[in-house]
Chains A and B, each alone.
Chain A
Amino acid sequence: MGIADHNSVTASNTTPLLDVRGITKVFGSLVANDHVNLTIAPGEIHALLGENGAGKSTLVKMLFGVLDPSEGSIIWKGEEVRISSPSEARKLGIGMVFQHFSLFEALTAAENIAATTPISQIADTARRLSVDYGLPLDPDAMVGDLSVGERQRIEIIRCLLQKPDLIILDEPTSVLTPQEANKMFETLERLKAEGKSILYISHRLDEVKRLCDTATVLRHGKVVGHCNPQEETATTLANMMVGTDVQNASRELSQAVEPGEPLIEINSLDRPPATPFSIPLRGINLKVRAGEVVGIAGVAGNGQGEFFEAVSGEALQTQSDSVRLNKVDCGRLGISGRRLVGAAFVPEERLGHGAAPGLSLSDNMLLSRHTTDSKTMLGALGYVVTSAVTAARKRVVKEMDVRKSGEDPEAAALSGGNLQKYLIGRELDRKPKVLIVDQPTWGVDAGAAARIRQAIIELARSGSAVLVISQDLDELFEISDSIAVMHDGRISAPLPIAEATFEKIGLLMGGAEPGHMAYEDVKTAEETEV
């Protein structure tokens, strides 16, 4: 198996850079971190592994001073420290690049960087760093206009300006194309060569195997082991993370069905940008047939949300045949009309879009079902038949194995995975002919994710058409019959799964462009100076 005592893993006998002992963090009744031990040597890339909800983000927030530990000690460069704020962490030499960036959209890139350092030093140092580490950047661009990859560069430069000894990266490649991820790995190797250490949080096992010297695995807030990823396989690592052998959903689950007629037809769909910071959709054409699952890959911020709203009817089209669902022209129908035609939708954001956080599960059932189930759920004068709504809620909870506390709790009280199971189950309960789902398993634990993917495949095999938008390429390769790529508001022609490879999809995700203009300019300037 390879679970090794962590002392033998460190390469040298010098003092570890970071020594975390018995760190515990409790939120109310939830123990997010339970006596966690971790050691990082100088010049080491250390992976922090675990599935969603294992406690990785909580741990690093304590290292960065955003949260206080309930118990335990942190020893930095041989001395015990109390990190009570991010500025303290930065002073010590710990830097962090968040998964969800802490950027200010209405300020420029330079101002965003300045938020943590004195203004005068910015321009030169930032430009130099950006070139040295291969992170091209336009200081005067407003962050709201930048792509996700560009925003991440600002976060990284902001972090590097502080000259940290330890850099914490939280799921850095979740927002990058495979090619951009490779560039980032080069940057990290450069930093390691300079003697800096990196704490690399990820659930992507092939990256971890490629990049990291050591790994600590968390499960349900506890450390289940330390190991050397180079000596492990993806399977052994996955088993450490999840604890049991996880069944991957299989496309060959039931008899493969001959695809029927197209039940989702998108014809030359255009959508102008709704807000100054949103992406316009341009000339999208797509067909999904009955019995098929079509996946749409793409890095966040390329128009997925806008596309979802256009298809769901939250944004109407000018031409009624721009969107056809279940063989009916839907372009001028709102979401209720589209649901009546037999379509169901699950948006990316659970709380605040798919469900109202402060309302109960029953209320959230009524939310998407009051039009389609008006005969059973509504009475005279719009009276709500609570018994019918309750029955539906209980049905879905049972069917999808939704774990909750209390009979009918608020949506916000459920964990991400359980809420997502409920929201998908809510739609499947209607047996829709068409299902469109955006990021079905984002932030969801492995068990729930498998259940959800299974449900999606089963729905397709029963004769429905399913469209899945996802940033998780592994997931798409697992469940799709064909994969299309969304980039900058456009969708490529779908590739049948047999012909699709990570390489091809990755190139399409990046828009297949060789390099950022600014980077080329700066590089040329450097060369001519020499």
Chain B
Amino acid sequence: MDMFQNILLTIATASTPLLIAAIGELVVERSGVLNLGVEGMMVIGAVCGFAAALMTGSPWIGVLAAIIAGMLLSLLFGFLAISLATNQVATGLSLTLLGIGLSGMIGENFVGQAGIRLPNLDIPVLTDIPMVGRLIFGQDPLFYISLALTAGVMWFLFKTRTGLTLRAIGDSHKSAHALGINVLKYRYLAVMFGGGCAGLAGAHLSLVYTPQWVENMTAGRGWIALALVVFSSWRPWRVIGGAYLFGAVTIGQLHAQALGFGIPSQFLSSLPYVATIVVLVLISRNRRLTVMNTPASLAQPFVPDR
């Protein structure tokens, strides 16, 4: 019984960074901006979070540092893609390459050092409930934050005026501008939110998942988060489903490797990536779904005329 709970716990831990990063990117894309630099911002968040936690002794400072690091890197992207109206695909890629390089450089001195872990929640009585206690009341704090973030984004996008404006910008930045909405400002804020989320997701990896710094420890999760946004048709609720599906596949293949079924480990390790491709194909086949849900101004540079 407890093994079952343990498995679910590992799935939650694997899924949380995907969820956080994907929700952040969803908001960015809803505003019409495509930021492919999620992987770069995530890994920067991971290394900065790790380093800050180690140097100050507090994992929460690490979390804060990770969020800020992600935001700063996203600002670089924003300056190019929003103010200078560059090609967003190439700019996002450059952000990833830069982020990976920078993180390698910053993290060099921290390789192999044991890190500080964010302590799990521990509520007397509740956490000890058999079968579900730790699952509901005993997880790391970022797990709860990830769910709150998703709910918050949902409420924001669909129940508030600002969220409506953001979605309008994503639909047609020209119309929004003509109505007097400050498109650039909204997009900057969205991009920074995405950066903060990516950084936070990275912090989860280096402060919860494996409290360690390993070069390139994100291992493509940022890209999977991007795929999740497409998979969810830009609806926050569905991102949870996607993130947990992937978390399950990741954990599943790790367990399969441990059990040694005779299937080569490389094959099992490739499952999350193959699954991403399959899932993308399935969702994009339905053209009506794609056209109706993709923010129409996605990835198009915008220059306001005055």
Contact = CB atoms under 8 A, between A and B. Distances in A.
Direct A/B contact, Cβ within 8 angstroms:
yes
Interface of A: 65-68, 85-90, 98, 101-107, 111-112, 114-116, 118-119, 275-277
A105 B171 contact: yes
Contacts of B178: 66, 86, 98, 102
Contacts of B176: 102, 104, 115
Interface of B: 161, 164-165, 167-168, 171-172, 174-181, 287-288, 291-293, 295-296, 305-306
A119 B161 contact: yes
A86 B164 CA distance: 18
Nearest to A144: B292
B180 A118 contact: no
A106 B180 contact: no
Tell me whether chain A's interface is mostly helix, strand or loop, or mixed: loop
Contacts of B293: 106
A495 to B, nearest CB: 37
19 contacts: A67-B305, A68-B306, A85-B180, A86-B180, A102-B172, A102-B175, A102-B176, A103-B172, A104-B167, A105-B296, A111-B168, A114-B161, A114-B164, A115-B164, A115-B165, A116-B179, A118-B161, A275-B291, A277-B291
B291 A104 contact: no
Given A67-B305, A111-B164, A115-B164, A102 B179 contact: yes
Given A66-B180, A105-B296, A276-B288, 16 more contacts: A65-B180, A85-B180, A87-B180, A88-B180, A102-B172, A102-B174, A103-B172, A104-B176, A105-B172, A106-B171, A106-B293, A106-B296, A107-B164, A107-B167, A115-B179, A277-B291
A99 B175 CA distance: 12
- Most central of B164, B168, B295 by chain A CB within 10 Å: B168
Contact of B171 (A90, A104, A116): A104
B168 A115 contact: yes
Given A87-B180, A116-B179, A104 B168 contact: yes
B171 A101 contact: no
A105 B294 CA distance: 12
Tell me whether chain B's interface is mostly helix, strand or loop, or mixed: helix
Contacts of B171: 104-107
Nearest to B160: A119
- Most central of B172, B296, B305 by chain A CB within 10 Å: B172
B180 to A, nearest CB: 3
A220 to B, nearest CB: 21
- Most central of B179, B288, B305, B306 by chain A CB within 10 Å: B179
A108 B181 CA distance: 18
A47 to B, nearest CB: 23
A107 B292 CA distance: 10
Contacts of A98: 178
Contacts of A107: 164, 167-168, 171
Nearest to B161: A119
A89 B178 CA distance: 12
A157 to B, nearest CB: 14
- Most central of A85, A89, A114, A115 by chain B CB within 10 Å: A115
Nearest to B159: A119
Contacts of A90: 180
Closest 10 CB pairs of A and B: A86-B180, A102-B175, A102-B178, A104-B171, A87-B180, A85-B180, A104-B168, A106-B171, A115-B168, A276-B288
Contacts of A104: 167-168, 171-172, 175-176
Contacts of B291: 275-277
